[in-house]
Structure 1
Amino acid sequence: MSTILRRLPPSEATGLRTGARHSLAELYRPADLVVLGLGVMIGAGIFSIAGRQAASTAGPGVILSFMIAGIACLLACLCYAELSSTMPTSGSAYTFTYVIFGEVWAWIIGWALILELQLAAAVVARAWGEIAVGAIANFGVTVPNRGLVSDLLVFVIVVVLTGIVALGARIGLRALWIMVSAKLLAIGAVIVVGLAHIDVANFGDFYVRPVTLSVAPQTVLEVVFGESQAFGWFGIFAAASAIAFAYIGFDIVATSAEETVNAPKAVPKGMIRSLVIATVIYIAVAVVMVGMVSYTKISLEAPLSSAFRAVGADWMVHVIDAGAVLGLTTVILVLIVGQTRVLFSMARDGLIPRRLAAVSRRYHTPTRVTLVIGFAAIVLAEFVPVLTMQELVVIGTLFAFAFVAAGVIVMRRRMPYLERGFRVPLSPLLPGLSMVATLWLMVNLRVLTWAWFALWMAFGLLVYLLYGRRHSLLARPRPTPDKPHGRHRR
């Protein structure tokens, strides 16, 4: 048991133990990290999630749902900020857990991150293909075989973005700046034009009487209470769990720490600023969405587009399409970057084949693992019904959130001597609240999601026992200093 609970010494988490710990060139600055965070947190969901949750779950109270989800994620973000400032490494939550809790728990978190990032890339790529086809159709172009065209577009976008990441972080960063700037302009147009068409009566008192649904309980919380409900406070909190999916991504900023200039200071600022900006933008779009039309008249298929059509601003549909396509493009790009860095860290620690940690001398990036990730994303997006698996992305992320929050508390007690570039205020209160908020979001997920997650983690534990435990660098004997011979003594 002691072998699988062995912990990575803090000095080695960011040291030269593997010969590759600092092989990634420093590239990112604070502003770049904000763009990285906005690139992954603001996708096509900003144009749809508010409307769908308002129509089906929370009514006008969806605005409160966005605030609740934002606060829950901010608590987790503060915890990530402290650990990232203490251990600025590509592994993020995986490496934090390795140092604080031990190898087997690190593997479990790494396995959860693989589920989150790899599946998320496939989900977003699949959605990108469908939205791109819809955008083409909205220009009056007839698409004869939409399914085939969508498949082709998914293949092309993943290949192109994988190539960008493999060719170098600097190229990806430049492309990200351009696309994020363009999509923020589109979102700004949505907010400005939408504000001019708001009817205050549509907000009501932000509360809709709860409705008991005639469907079998699906979430853990519904099973506990024995019924399914929508609207009311129950609906507002349930919508917050779904909305948390939109905010997920600030944690990916932590995977860039090893490539960031003055990481202990810059990474916390980048994460927190990007999350706060994203939260403000999401709430602004939610206000516009709910204010333009009554929640009872919102279309679930294209909430924001239908709202603008209802007020006579049909031309905004093309702006929304452009913003959605650009938004998802940046999400895929950042997800591939984040997944690359996590697997790179696991590979150089020996828990997965070390060949994947090879860094290209020409491009200075972990090219091999990037190509593997791109290939896996294509296979999942093309051949697996990934759009039905979005909750698996959420539960994998929230699982890591819980460990990071607990890690702040434990590390303060075990390693108070470590230098921190950022400290969570009011610890252990805020990390404790983060764990409670994370647990609340998790129990609002479906029981089926928990079952699939348990199977994934069980399979991952088997992989660790068969491979990772024996190939870990910590399993290798370490050289000890030679004892001086008698003739060398004085």
Structure 2
Amino acid sequence: MSSILRRIVARKPIDSVQKEINEAEYKRPLNAWDLTCIGIGTTIGAGIFVLTGTAAKDYAGPAIILSYIISGVVCIFACLCYAELGSTLPVSGSAYSFTYAALGELLAWIVGWDLMLEYLVGSATVAVGWAYYLDTFVTGFTADGKSLFDQRFTNAPFIWLEASDTVAAGFYMNKVPCRPGSDELCQAYFNFPAFFIVVAITILLVIGIREAAWFNNTMVVIKIVVCILFVLTGIKFINNANYTPFIPPAQEYGHYGASGIFQASVSVFFAYIGFDAVTTTAQEAANPQRDLPIGIIASLGICTILYVAVAAVLVGMVPYSTISRGAPVGQALIDVGLPAMAVIISFGALVGLSSVLLSSLIAQPRIFYSMAYDGLLPSAFAKIHPKTGTPYVTTIVSGTVCALLSAFLPVDVLGNLASVGTLSAFFLVSVSTLVLRITQPDLPRKFQIPGGFWIGGMLIPFLSAFSAAGLFSQATIPAIIRVFAWMGVGLVVYFSFGFWHSRVGLGISTGGEPAAAGSKAAKA
């Protein structure tokens, strides 16, 4: 038992992290602007263009503004922790690698497994939102305002319903109009647009990171312009009556009231997921120690300002009870008599959501690569294409899984699952920052959280961990159960494969000490 415990708490030596950096076959074409755009590209998307509708309508009402601010504060603390660790350990594993070096193998595995919720499940959420906005965009060109798509092939076959007076929580078959404009209902089969966009983005990412970055940078500029355009247009249609009551009274199932604000914070926390994706491209950055903190902090700052502004205008334009769940921003413009502007915004949302997909699907394969490099996943996942310099095997696997999730599962359950999973990763990254400040005080840190040892090294990481844990506790019980069930599956996978193939673990078994990745002990 003692040997097993020693194995699962073994930390990855810092020198092996440096070895991984030196051995990687990645190309390094990315600069600070590219990294900032990856952060913005991953962040601004489904959270503001899709989930705002569900969070305002079902949880917080106009107080969705406070929900965004609460989630933003949590992310500011976590952002500083990521910036410090990213400049200290500039490897593509992000939170997984940070936790491995600070807290040990088992917790690192759990973080890496949870990051699949953030990036794979999160990408699927974005793809579902992309399909909604494609429908809104195309419908804007029709004379009668009716959808041209067969809804059976643009919707998931299942929907998730929370507990209410009439239904029990769970999955239900999704019934949609059999034909455009028909009152007859048929079973939905497959979300083809969501599936298609994920496949297209995956192909682009296999081609190369430089090409993907150029495409992403262009899309980021477009969606920032669209967000500003929505705010400047919508502010003229704000009705102050829509802000009353600002915090609707609590309902039987925890919606609205103070608890509703925090539940909405968990839901829209998904909107802030993305700045951490910058760290997954560390080994493809020309100067990661300098540029990673710039990309992380700049992307979060820009996104927070835009989120609060868009949310404030949205709930002022239309009553929260009438906000669309699928395409809240575009539908709000239609509701105030601006269908042409809704088409423009829907196009911007399509572009924005495409960049989120691209950036998220950049991140996940690189985490898989780091886990495979450490022996916790099959070695095929650590293959880099000799010509393009991309982890092509993990990119194809990630894209395939994401495409299937987006085709068959609904947006609300996906979004909540991704948010709660990411909060657990943020918690452990914050703890890792604190632990490394204590156990490795002399590590070269190109960026340190301001405030010296006690404020920057102790207080801010503690507040980050405490905030993430507090927000996690406000999630719905079904969401928490689903995440712990996911962790349980992850533990089965770890003890079935990763435990027996871990390079660090093999080093302990043969030499008594954790071996640097790539050493003879690790390859034994």
State the AA in 1 paired with 2:252: S
Aligned to 1:170: 210
Paired position in structure 1 for 2:91: 89
What is the rounded CA distance, in whole Å, between the counterparts of 2:317 and 2:355 in structure 1?
Answer: 28
1:366 shift after superposition: 1.0
- State the 1:23 CA deviation: 1.6
Number of residues of Structure 1 aligned to a counterpart in Structure 2: 463
For 1:111-260, list aligned pairs within 5 A: 111-140=113-142, 143-148=148-153, 151-200=191-240, 202-203=242-243, 207-208=246-247, 210-211=249-250, 213-215=251-253, 228-231=254-257, 233-260=258-285
Tell me the equivalent position of 2:77. 75
Q: Which residue of 2 aligns with 1:5?
A: 9
Structure 2 partner of 1:421: 446
Deviation of 1:162 after TM superposition, in Å, equals 0.6
Counterpart contact for 1:210–1:234, Cα < 8 Å: no
- In the aligned structure 1, how far is the partner of 2:511 from the partner of 2:321? 70
Matches of 1:209 and 1:149, distance apart in 2: 33
Shift, 1:146, TM fit: 2.7
The answer on whether the counterparts of 2:192 and 2:407 sit within 8 Å (CA) in structure 1 is no
State how far apart, in whole Å, the 2-side matches of 1:344 and 1:185 are.
35
Alpha-carbon shift at residue 305 of structure 1 (Å): 3.2
DSSP-derived class of the 2:387 partner: coil
> Is 2:332 the partner of 1:332?
no
Displacement of 1:88: 0.4
CA contact (8 A) 1:27 1:260 kept: yes
Structure 1: stretches of 5+ with no match in the other structure: 216-227, 481-490
Code of the aligned partner of 2:150:
N
Contact 1:7 1:101 in 2 (8 A): yes
* Alignment check: 8 A CA contact 2:61 2:248 kept: no
Segment drifting more, 282-291 vs 245-254: 282-291
Whether contact under 8 Å (2:206, 2:396) holds in the other structure is yes
Please show how residues 8-19 of structure 1 align to structure 2 within 5 Å. Answer: 8-16=12-20
Structure 1 residues 461 and 365, CA gap change in structure 2 (3 angstroms): same
Q: Which amino acid aligns with 1:178?
A: T
Query: 2-side partners of 1:352 and 1:437: how far apart?
Result: 31
Matched ranges for 1:42-61 at <5 A: 42-61=44-63
Residue 256 of structure 2 aligns with an amino acid whose one-letter code is A
Quick one: which amino acid aligns to residue 88 of structure 2? T
The answer as to whether partners of 1:210 and 1:235 remain within 8 angstroms in 2 is: no
Alignment-derived partner of residue 268 in structure 1: 293
CA drift of 1:200 comes to 4.3
Partner residue in 2 for 1:64:
66
Given that residues 44 and 323 in structure 1 are in contact (C-alpha distance below 8 angstroms), is that contact kept between their aligned partners in structure 2? Answer: no
- Look up the SS of the partner of 1:422 in the other structure: coil
In structure 2, distance between residues paired with 1:395 and 1:88: 26
Match of 2:417 among 385, 389, 392: 392
Would the alpha carbon gap of residues 125 and 465 (structure 1) be closer, same or farther in structure 2, given more than 3 Å must change? Answer: same
Question: Who is 2:490 aligned against?
Answer: 460
Deviation at 1:439, TM superposition (A): 1.2
Aligned to 1:221: none
Residue 473 of structure 1 corresponds to: 503
Over 3 Å counting, the alpha-carbon distance change for 1:415 and 1:292 in structure 2 is same
Cα 1:53–1:86 change in 2 (3 A) is same
The Cα shift of 1:159 comes to 1.7
Change beyond 3 A, Cα 1:386–1:352: farther
The alignment partner of 1:23 has SS state of: coil
Q: Which ranges of structure 2 fall in alignment gaps of 5 or more residues?
A: 156-190, 513-524
Change (3 A) 1:264 1:144: closer
Distance 1:270 1:416, change over 3 A: same
For 1:106, the equivalent position in structure 2 comes to: 108
Aligned mates of 2:196, 2:325 — CA distance in 1: 28
Q: Determine the C-alpha separation between the residues in 2 that align with 1:61 and 1:311.
A: 21
- Classify the secondary structure of the residue corresponding to 1:214: coil
Aligned residues of 1:91 and 1:342 also touching (Cα < 8 A): yes
Q: What is the one-letter code of the residue matched to 2:123?
A: A
**Pair 1:282-2:322 in alignment:** no
Match of 2:336 among 295, 311, 321: 311
Query: 1 CA distance for matches of 2:308 and 2:249?
Result: 23
Q: Deviations over 1:165-207 (max 9, x none)?
A: 1111001001101111222222221111112333445445x74
Q: CA deviation at 1:38?
A: 0.9
Separation in structure 1 between the aligned mates of residue 314 and residue 113 of structure 2, nearest angstrom: 37
Cα gap change, 1:463 to 1:299, in 2 (>3 Å): closer
Distance 2:501 2:211 in 1: 34
Aligned to 1:223: none
Shift of 1:229: 4.5
| Counterpart AA for 1:15 | K
**Residue 299 to residue 161, structure 1, CA distance change in 2 (3 Å):** closer
C-alpha separation in 2, matches of 1:379 and 1:27: 31
Alignment of 1:348-427 (within 5 A): 348-385=373-410, 387-425=412-450, 426=455, 427=457
Alpha-carbon deviation of 1:275?
Answer: 0.5
Q: What is the identity, as a one-letter code, of the residue corresponding to 2:477?
A: V
Which secondary structure state, in structure 2, belongs to the residue aligned with residue 6 of structure 1? coil
Q: Matched residue of 1:421: which SS?
A: coil
**C-alpha displacement of 1:67:** 1.4
State the secondary structure of the residue aligned to 2:442: coil
User: What CA RMSD, in Å, does the superposition of the two structures yield over aligned residues?
Assistant: 2.3
Which stretch shows the higher mean deviation, 158-167 or 132-141?
132-141
Q: Secondary structure at the match of 1:261?
A: coil
Change (3 A) 1:103 1:132: same
Paired with 1:142 and 1:116, the residues of 2 have a C-alpha distance of: 31
- The answer on whether the counterparts of 2:259 and 2:474 sit within 8 Å (CA) in structure 1 is no
* CA apart distance, 1:461: 1.3
Q: Secondary structure at the match of 1:316?
A: helix
In structure 2, the CA distance between the partners of 1:379 and 1:293, relative to structure 1 (3 Å rule), is closer
Question: Contact conserved, 2:133 with 2:327, CA < 8 A, in 1?
Answer: no
Is contact 1:76-1:431 (8 Å) kept? Answer: yes
* Preserved contact between residue 383 and residue 393 of structure 2 (Cα < 8 Å): yes
